[in-house]
Amino acid sequence: MNSLKKMILEHGEVKEGNILKVDSFLNHQLNPEFLYRIGEEFYRLFRNEKITKILTIEVSGIALALTTGLFFKVPVVFAKKTVSLNLDKDVYTSKVFSYTKNQVYNIMISKKYLDKDDKVLIIDDFLAEGNAIRGLIDIAQKSGAEIRGIGIAIEKGFQQGGRILRSEGYNLKSLVIVDELKPGSIMFRS
Amino acid sequence: MNSLKKMILEHGEVKEGNILKVDSFLNHQLNPEFLYRIGEEFYRLFRNEKITKILTIEVSGIALALTTGLFFKVPVVFAKKTVSLNLDKDVYTSKVFSYTKNQVYNIMISKKYLDKDDKVLIIDDFLAEGNAIRGLIDIAQKSGAEIRGIGIAIEKGFQQGGRILRSEGYNLKSLVIVDELKPGSIMFRS
């Protein structure tokens, strides 16, 4: 998606530890019209998958999942992060390891909002090692729902999450893949 | 907003402690088309205020602020919650007391995304005692921005936040005001 590459080149900041900050349009300040275009692009990529529900994870996946939901006209469910493991029988839970924070957190989705008849599109802003996506896949599988697609805005191609998910057969599509991050230089896969 | 009253009556759940759960369309599962209509309504209410920026607070304000931003065509900035006080000079911070969690948390907005030339619309899902809104007002004031409006989806009229903010002269508009919450009975102000 060329407009996303352009936004990243113009507004992205490369930080130590292979961090790409896109706070000016995606992770702190949101550019509503641009995020609407991203939702439209995810719709174009997955429109034939008979999606009934969009899954994401708080906080930064919510905006993209919502604009995508405006095109699919289906509900969006965001997994909530919890410090303690919720033992409520009415929720699906999974554990996610965060590299950036170096800690494990729990995520949960109420059983009311996901079940075996759902055909799910998972949406998130970033894919690196794939831990958050693994948590969402785990929850979708526990519910019996079918995972029809995974849509990522920015994939870090130099980390292994995307490669492994594709090798397992997941229908993963990233709007841009970043192959190298250096201060002043961001290389995209063509 | 009659459609919001209808959604609350059909899907809201009253819990002990005057809690109104609207997880099926606003706080866990999102109904994108309905939230788009809420954004349109906030635009109708504040369209003449020359808004340059929409402020909200993670997590549950993001979806509404984003759909509102689609109509205003201005950036949305969400305040981030942090456990520790961020002493970075590049951020505005404030403290918010949460009644539901009985704890104080810090919120922050980067100085990059808010300044004295901004005319701000604050958006949030709920207003009860008004603590989260006070935090956003505090940050907006620290930045020198002008607060032109406060748009709330659901105000709890039996708590004092809305009454006090109006008495102070804030241009506060709530799409619905709930005056009484009992299991099986939700009373709206007409």
Residue B23: which of A28, A35, A110 has the nearest Cβ?
Answer: A110
What pLDDT is attached to residue B101?
A: 77
B113/B56 Cα distance (integer angstroms): 13
pLDDT tens, position by position, A50-83: 999 999 999 999 999 999 999 999 999 999 998 6
For B46-96, what is each residue's pLDDT tens digit?
999 999 999 999 999 999 999 999 999 999 999 999 866 656 679 999 999
| Chain B residues within an 8 Å CB radius of A77 | 28-30
The domain spans of chain B are 2-188
Report the mean per-residue pLDDT for chain B. 95
Which ranges of A58-171 would DSSP assign to H, the alpha helix? Answer: 62-72, 131-143, 161-167
A-chain residues near B113 (CB < 8 A): 23-24, 28-29
Cα angle A146, A112, A125; round to 5: 55
Nearest to A33 among B36, B70, B78 (CB): B70
- Residue A83: half-sphere exposure toward Cβ, Cα within 13 Å: 1
Smallest Cα distance from B30 to chain A, Å: 5
Local structure of B116: helix, strand or coil:
coil
> Which residues from chain B sit within 8 angstroms of residue A58, using beta carbons?
58-59
Distances (CA, A) of B170 to B47, B139, B147: 16, 15, 8
Angle at which helix B32-46 crosses helix A62-72, to 10 degrees, equals 100
In sign, the C-alpha dihedral spanning B133, B137, B143, B146 is positive
Q: Are A80 and B28 inside 8 Å of each other by CB?
A: yes
From the CA of A181, how many Å to the nearest CA of chain B? 23
Nearest CA in chain A to B76: A30
Tens digits of per-residue pLDDT, B94-130? 999 987 778 899 999 999 999 999 999 999 999 999 9
Which residues from B are below 8 Å from A when comparing CB atoms?
23-24, 28-33, 35-36, 58-59, 62-63, 65-67, 69-70, 73-78, 80, 109-110, 112-113
Structure tokens that stand for B76 in this block = 């949305």
Task: Judge: domain B2-188, CATH 3.40.50.2020.
Answer: yes
Residue B87: its pLDDT value, please? Answer: 60
CA–CA distances in Å: residue B163 to residues B55, B122, B151, B157: 21, 17, 14, 8
Q: What percent of chain A has pLDDT over 70?
A: 97
Between strands A76-82 and A53-57, the pairing is: parallel
Specify whether the CB–CB gap between B124 and B135 falls below 8 A: no
Q: What is the mean pLDDT of chain A?
A: 95
User: Coil, helix or strand for A32?
Assistant: helix
Give Cβ neighbours of residue A26 (< 8 Å, ≥ 6 apart): A35, A60, A63, A64, A125, A153
